[in-house]
Structure formats: C-alpha cells, structure tokens
C-alpha cells in the first residue's frame, strides 16, 4: 500500500484527445510548480484517464493541489489492490480510527474499469466491514446514507482502489498557460486583482501593468498595487510575471489643464487602454483585462464604457462586468488580495468633483483634439519600466 493524492479535473475531459493530452501535461507541470513553491515533498506525478496522481506521504499536498487552476478536487488517499477484500479491510482500518462512538457513517463508492463487482457491492462490503470493526472496538455503529457524521470514500479503478475521507474543492477553470497571454491593468484596488485572477483561472497568463499617477497619487498607491501583484504571482508558480510600471501623470496633467474637467476619468481610461495596447503588441499578448463592473462607479456606466472604447480597435476583457460588489469582495478574500486592497492610500487627486456619467463619443474626440494623444502615449510607453518579482 502507498499514499497518493488523487487530482480530478473537469473541463479538460471535454476536449479532443490531442488538446486534452496537452492540457493534462500543462496541468501536471503547474501542480509540480505549486508543490515546489509550498515546500511539499513528493516523488513524482502520473496520470490515468481522468485522473492525475501525486505520489506523496504529505497530506497537505491535497489542499495545495486544489489551489492549482484546472483542478476540480483533490484527495489524500491510500492505494490498495482493486479487490473487495483489500478494499473492505482498508475501510475497516480507517473507520476504526476515523469514526468515533456515536458517529453515523456512510460509504461513498464509485468504480471504473472491468471488475466482477459493482459500486453497490463495494459500498455494501465495505459498510459491513466497518460495522463489524466498530462493534469489535466497543462502539455503536450507526449508518446514515443521507447526512452522516463521517464519510469514507472509495474510488475503484482498473488495478487499484483508493480509500480516503476528505475532498478538497479545487478552484476549477483551465490550466494556467493554455489560453495565451493578456495585459492586466492592476491598480491595487479590490476589483483589478480579482479580474486578473479570474482570467488566470481561465488559463490566461497575465502581464501586469500598473499606471503610476504621480504626482496625482503617492507611493502608497504604488506599493498597494505591487503587493496585489505579488499575491497574484503566488497563484502562478512556474509562470513568472513580467511587470510594467507606466508613468501616467503626464497624461493626467494634460487632461486636467486643457480638457473639460468632468471628462478626466474617461480620457484617462482611453489613454491607459492605448498604452496597454502598445505593451500588448510588444509582448505578443492577445487582450487587455480591466476591473470594470457595470455601473459600479461613475466611469463604468454603460455610456462611459462605450465611449472609452469608441474608435479604438483594442480587445478588452471585463470579467467582473456583471458581478455585484459583494461577489467581488468574496473572491478578493478567497484569493488573499482583499486586506491589501483596502489599505488606506492617497486617492487620485485628478478625479473631478462631478465626473461625467453619460459621455458622448464625439465630445471625447473633441476633448482629445486639445492635447497630443500620440505624444502622451509615446511618453508613457517609452518611460515604462519592466521588472520581475
């Protein structure tokens, strides 16, 4: 007998054989990288149809693997021969320790492969073995198949069976690195790290871009953004970020001094998108990720979001577009960015007292004609600093 972690995936199983094979290999590399990052010892990874196995005696490997994009669930299990005697004996051994006197229990069995017994046979045989062992231990066995206090899971495959007592729910999605690269605009607030994380969950490698608004913001805002990016990097071992810090204060200064003040935020966004687009092309990426959520703030009304992109052939992705703020906050807490994002920082002083909420596209083009947009974009792109954590 040996210990393993069973890793299950979801959407990968729906892909064509060639794509599935590629995705599984990427997922295995990502699991290995996460295990290495967390200091979990293991002797190797292997795969069978529909499952990946981690050979390890470290029970924490299951919860670590569950944090890898593409993993649906993971369980630390004991492997035994795929015959009823071995399986039922192991269930009885586990039940004697796991089930306390007065606890109700259930056996949850599933089977794949060719055997001379069914999943129901496994459940019955193992349930009887656990019942008898509990009686020998002086305990009172109670079976409850609906809401038991304790569950013992059995997964029978062709040559081996796996017995375990806990499932760790995974983050799901697709393996990171299977859907190309995108630029992620990260401000450090609650929304933008969550937006980037959700696209990472869908297999996208991100290139974080922080637009530095100094002198309209100070170093606290910059540090918050970089700390948010560090949190995202922890979810992407084996995929080191190339981070861009872009000077954006010169553009804001031009808008504040020469354009209608109520249009500052929309003009700011349009310029950020242009800068991000240049970085996207430089990096061979295929899109730009924003933290916009419809109607959340003045700049994110439907009219403004249309105006922000008017006349710009830029591929924007808004993964938070239909989420409520409470939903976004829940994800931020889950991924570890929330406490960073709610730090007190100096707000951008370029934000007007009464920002426009219904910007007209033609009026924005008129406002942009008051400044040299191309020069502002070139200034930001040429002054961008690229670094890695």
At 66-115, the pLDDT tens digits run 999 999 999 999 999 999 999 999 999 999 999 999 999 999 999 998 99
202 and 60 co-located in one domain = no
Does 320 lie in the same domain as 347? yes
Judge if 250 and 373 occupy the same domain.
yes
In the DSSP assignment, the letter for residue 199 is H
Share of the chain above pLDDT 90, in %: 88
Asked if 54 contacts 29 with a C-beta cutoff of 8 angstroms, the reply is no
- Taking the C-alpha atoms of residue 152 and residue 307, their distance in angstroms, rounded to an integer, is 57
Is a pLDDT exceeding 80 seen at residue 1?
Answer: no
Q: Which domain holds residue 237?
A: 181-387
Please tell me whether residues 128 and 237 are part of one structural domain: no
Looking at residue 50, what is its pLDDT?
87
Tell me: do 141 and 212 sit in the same domain. no
Question: Looking at the chain, how many residues does it have?
Answer: 389
Q: Count structural domains, the chain.
A: 2
Asked if residue 156 and residue 230 are part of one domain, the reply reads no
Residues whose CB is less than 8 angstroms from the CB of residue 291 and which lie 6 or more positions away in sequence, other chains included: 185, 187, 189, 191, 192, 193, 194, 195, 196, 320
Q: Residue 241 pLDDT > 90, yes or no? A: yes
Kindly state whether residues 130 and 261 are assigned to the same domain.
Answer: no
pLDDT digits (tens, 9 = 90+) for 155-191: 999 999 999 999 999 999 999 999 999 999 999 899 9
Residue 261 counted as domain residue:
yes
**Which token pair is 255?**
């808008």
The pTM score is 0.94
């Amino acid at each position: 007998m040996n210990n393993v972690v069973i890793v299950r995936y979801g959407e990968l199983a729906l892909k064509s054989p060639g794509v599935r094979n590629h995705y599984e290999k990427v997922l295995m590399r990502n699991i290995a990288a996460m295990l290495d990052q967390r200091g979990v010892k293991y002797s190797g990874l292997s795969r069978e149809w529909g499952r990946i196995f981690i050979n390890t005696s470290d029970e924490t490997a299951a919860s670590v693997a569950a944090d890898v994009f593409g993993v649906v669930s993971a369980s630390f299990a004991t492997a035994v021969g795929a015959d009823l005697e071995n399986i039922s004996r192991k269930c009885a051994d586990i039940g004697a320790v796991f089930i306390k006197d007065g606890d109700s229990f259930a056996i949850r069995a599933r089977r794949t492969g060719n055997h001379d017994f069914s999943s129901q046979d496994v459940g019955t045989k193992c349930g009887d073995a656990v019942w008898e062992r509990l009686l020998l231990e002086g305990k009172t066995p109670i079976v409850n198949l609906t809401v038991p206090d304790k569950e013992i899971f059995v997964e029978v495959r062709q040559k081996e069976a796996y017995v375990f007592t806990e499932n760790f729910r995974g983050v799901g999605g697709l393996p990171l690195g299977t859907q190309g690269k995108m630029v992620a605009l990260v401000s450090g607030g609650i929304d933008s790290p969550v937006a980037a994380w959700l696209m990472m969950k869908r297999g996208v490698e991100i290139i974080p871009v922080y637009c530095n608004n100094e002198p309209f913001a100070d170093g606290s805002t910059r540090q918050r953004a970089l700390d948010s990016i560090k949190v995202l990097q922890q979810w992407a071992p084996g995929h080191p970020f190339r981070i861009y810090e872009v000077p954006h204060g010169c553009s804001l200064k031009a808008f504040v001094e020469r354009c209608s003040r109520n249009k500052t935020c929309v003009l700011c966004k349009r310029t950020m998108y242009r800068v991000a687009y240049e970085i996207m092309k430089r990096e061979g990426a295929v899109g730009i990720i924003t933290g916009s959520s419809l109607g959340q703030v003045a700049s994110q009304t439907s009219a403004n979001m249309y105006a922000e992109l008017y006349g710009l052939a830029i591929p924007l992705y808004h993964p938070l577009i239909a989420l409520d703020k409470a939903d976004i906050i829940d994800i931020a807490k889950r991924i570890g960015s929330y406490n960073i994002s709610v730090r007190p920082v100096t707000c951008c002083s370029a934000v007007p007292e009464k920002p426009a909420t219904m910007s007209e596209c033609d009026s924005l083009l008129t406002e942009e004609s008051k400044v040299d947009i191309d020069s502002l974009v070139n200034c930001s792109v040429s002054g961008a600093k690229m670094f890695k954590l």
